[in-house]
Structure 1
Amino acid sequence: MMAARRILPLAVPEIVSYPHISYAMSVLSLAPEGVDWVFSNYVQLCMLDHGSTVEMRYFIPNADLFHFPGLFGTQRISRDWILHYCPSFRDFVRYSIDKEFYVWTFVDEYYIPGTRSYRNQSLEHAIMIHGYDDDNREFHISGYMESQRYKQSTIPYDTVEQAFTEMQLPPIHFANNTHLLKRSPNAYEFKPDWIMEQLADYGGARPSDVRMEIFEERKECPYYWGIGVIDGLQEKLRQQLRGESFVDHRPFFILHEHKKTMNNRLAYMADKGHFEFSQEIRDGYKEIEAKAQTIFNLELKYLMTRDNRFLTQIIERLDGLKEAESRTIGQMMEQYDRDN
């Protein structure tokens, strides 16, 4: 018999820019080995130029497609299967949580209060359900709710049931998949050398997919790699000033998040005794994070005012960001090589 209430633990994820990263990270980061894996990765960036828009990415396999240390892979179940064979989505979720699976699924935000699309438009979006409460008839979830910020919340059973069952999707669509995550005791050793290899690729604006031919896909659009994403952003902003493209806030959020994570990584490395960079380098990356924060704030000001002066300021400040980061990465590589 299922318990009346069960809530699986979640960690606060280091990265919250993408659901497919934050959901897996909030589970695997519950263990020290999972935190070691997180801070050993998420160093390299790439940006896809789709013409009218751009897409910034961390260059790392996704947990919904590849095995991660700390997780028993990812079980994938189609929405049609759940609707056909399960008494209800609620029962499917409760059974899965009782088996210690986290339910990463997609719902139509039209039915979810607090979202931008509520009673406004249909929009499939991911949530992760990590608990249930029969007494209050609600699920405990993590997701991107008010202001599209990652947070934990509760949603009534009936609301989630309707948002899942009423979602209208074409037969082949990523949102037709529900993913089940489960913790595993798989060990992982923190890898400073691997961090520095990624950092060398990042600082040199070199592609990292060539490291493994199996991941090197044919590119249908231009790619920018590593610190070169800054050049790509500047070019797209110049196009935006000419009315040829539009860059939203997400690449700038990720750019800032990337610097914030680097500072947390450097502190983690020193705290755990893996390697300690000089105070000059630590201070340098704190300045880099502050520069990225200012650029993100300017982007938000542009989105509120549509004043092109802010775009011009962003282009100029991106030069300073790239110069400072290139200099600090060079110092990091020099100290790491010297001390090892």
Structure 2
Amino acid sequence: MHKQLPVHMQPALYSYLHHAYPLSVMPEHPHFSPWLHSHYIQWSADPEFFNHLDEHIFVNYYQPMHTHHYHELLHLKIMTADLLSRMETGTDLIAFFKRSIDQGDYVYLFLDEFYLPGKAMYRRHHFAHDTLLFGYDDEKQVFHTLGFNHNYEYGQTDIGYGPFLESYRQADRSKAYYTKEIILYSLNKERTYSFDLQLVIESLEDYVLSRNSSERYRAIASPNQHVYGLKVYEEIVKYLRLLQSDSTLYRNIIPVHLLWEHKKMMADRLEYMKQHGYWCPPEKLIAQYQEIEREAQLIRKLFYKYAFFLKEDTSLLEEAITKTQMLAIKELQVLEQVLNELHGKSIISCS
């Protein structure tokens, strides 16, 4: 027996796997594009990161409740690893996950990559990392999974049933509540979604004004003390300066990658809104934001060059810092114009 559910190997966002996995599944939904372009505007930085440099999430997209962020287009079934541990044998676990896939459910769970050939941490370091099962092959005795391989490239990795069971059972789920969760999700094609221009405007306002968006969602989640919106740039600069002062620190590429990824998503959104007639901006406005994306990509390249090849060359960090500070100013100027256009007469159907 074998089964493989459809996945997209190039999701819109992949800085964190908990975004990449749903976004690898959801493009199969007919209303994915309007949903995608209505979201992923606000971001935040957690100052607590500077007390836990090796293991704390720093910069991320803001979602009031991540697990339920996707419920508009996905069916979600959430359980815990403790519940499944009551099963007596490994065969039962394998059979359960295979049945889930047979019924159209993708399986999101955490495995210890120390036991998984093809992963960067294989036999080097115990690391409970999120994994997505989207298929299996009994003849080869493997699950088809998505994730990062040993070269940190996003794509498919096949995991044998034996290593899978060991990595599942040995995963340390004591440090974070979300590692205990197992989420089954499938497309909910009965649901529809229309592009939400009002949500986009409100999110852009929060972003430009650096408002704490969590304050407005206290009915469903306690507010946090993260830094929001354009002020996140200051936190990224703070991190780059910290690396300048101590070259022995772990060089976390995610904040700078997400900086570029966020600008790419923003530029794509403006183009989407224009193409679908949600506004008629001056041509130069979209061109200016596309230039912001290119600048962010250059910052990313500078940091990658430093992190992987020339870690002693702190001049690369200084250049990245200068460009990041300038980028914050440019983005503020452009987004103020965008908001003026969205609040003004340009919100008409484009002919």
**TM-score, length-scaled by structure 1:** 0.90
Match of 2:252 among 248, 251, 275: 248
- Percent identity among equivalent residues? 26
- Contact residue 141 and residue 161 of structure 2 kept, 8 A: yes
Secondary structure class of the residue paired with 1:161: helix
Query: C-alpha distance in 2, partners of 1:235/1:80?
Result: 40
Give the deviation of 1:83 after TM superposition.
3.0
1:6 maps to 2:30: no
Give the 3 Å change call, closer, same or farther, for CA 215–78 of structure 1 in structure 2. Answer: closer
Kindly tell me the number of residue pairs found equivalent between the two proteins: 334
CA deviation map 1:218-249 (0-9, x unaligned) = 54xx6321111112222333344344986621
Q: Partner residue of 1:213?
A: 218
> Are 2:290 and 1:286 equivalent residues in the alignment?
yes
Residue 226 in structure 1 maps to residue 229 in structure 2? yes
Tell me, yes or no, if the aligned pair for 1:192 and 1:275 is still in contact at 8 Å: no
1:197 paired residue number: 202
Question: Offset of 1:48 from its aligned partner?
Answer: 0.9
Matches within 5 A, 1:87-126: 87-126=91-130
Moved more, 286-295 or 165-174: 165-174
Deviation at 1:82, TM superposition (A): 1.8
Distance of aligned partners of 1:123 and 1:247 in 2 relative to their CA distance in 1, 3 Å threshold: closer
SS at match of 2:219: helix
* Counterpart Cα distance in 1 of 2:122 and 2:210: 41
- Is residue 146–residue 154 contact of structure 2 (8 Å, CA) maintained in 1? yes
Which of 319, 333, 337 is the aligned partner of 2:339?
A: 333
Report Cα offsets for 1:305-334 as digits up to 9, x if no partner. Answer: 222212211211112211211111122112
List alignment gaps of at least 5 residues for structure 1: none
Residue pair 1:237, 1:246 contacting (<8 A) in 2 also: no
Counting only pairs closer than 5 Å after superposition, residues 27-42 of structure 1 correspond to structure 2 as 27-42=25-40
Q: Distance in 2 between matches of 1:235 and 1:179?
A: 35
Contact 1:104–1:178 (CA under 8 A) maintained in structure 2? yes
Counterparts in 2 of 1:295 and 1:110: CA distance versus 1, 3 Å: same
CA distance in 2, matches of 1:169, 1:80: 10
2:44 is matched with 46
Question: Is this contact kept in 1: 2:41–2:207, CA < 8 A?
Answer: yes
Deviation at 1:265, TM superposition (A): 1.6
* Distance change >3 Å, CA 164–CA 239, structure 1 → 2: closer
Q: Which residue of 1 aligns with 2:327?
A: 321
1:171/1:195 CA distance change after superposition, 3 Å = closer
Pairwise CA distance, 1:5: 1.6
- Distance, in Å, in 2 between the alignment partners of 1:334 and 1:59 is 24
* Bigger mean CA offset, 149-158 vs 178-187: 149-158
Which amino acid letter does the alignment assign opposite residue 7 of structure 2? L
Task: Specify the code of the residue in structure 2 equivalent to 1:6.
Answer: K
- Please, what TM-score do these two structures have when normalized by structure 2? 0.87
CA shift for structure 1 position 171: 8.8
- Whether the 8 Å contact between 2:118 and 2:157 is mirrored in structure 1 is no
Over aligned residue pairs, what C-alpha RMSD do you find? 2.3
Deviation at 1:172, TM superposition (A): 7.0
In 1: Cα distance, 2:219 partner to 2:339 partner: 28
Using the alignment, how far apart are the partners of 2:175 and 2:254 within structure 1?
29
- Note the 1:249-264 alignment, pairs <5 A: 249-264=253-268
Partner of 1:272: 276
Distance 1:316 1:204 in 2: 22
Structure 2 stretches lacking a partner, 5+ long: none
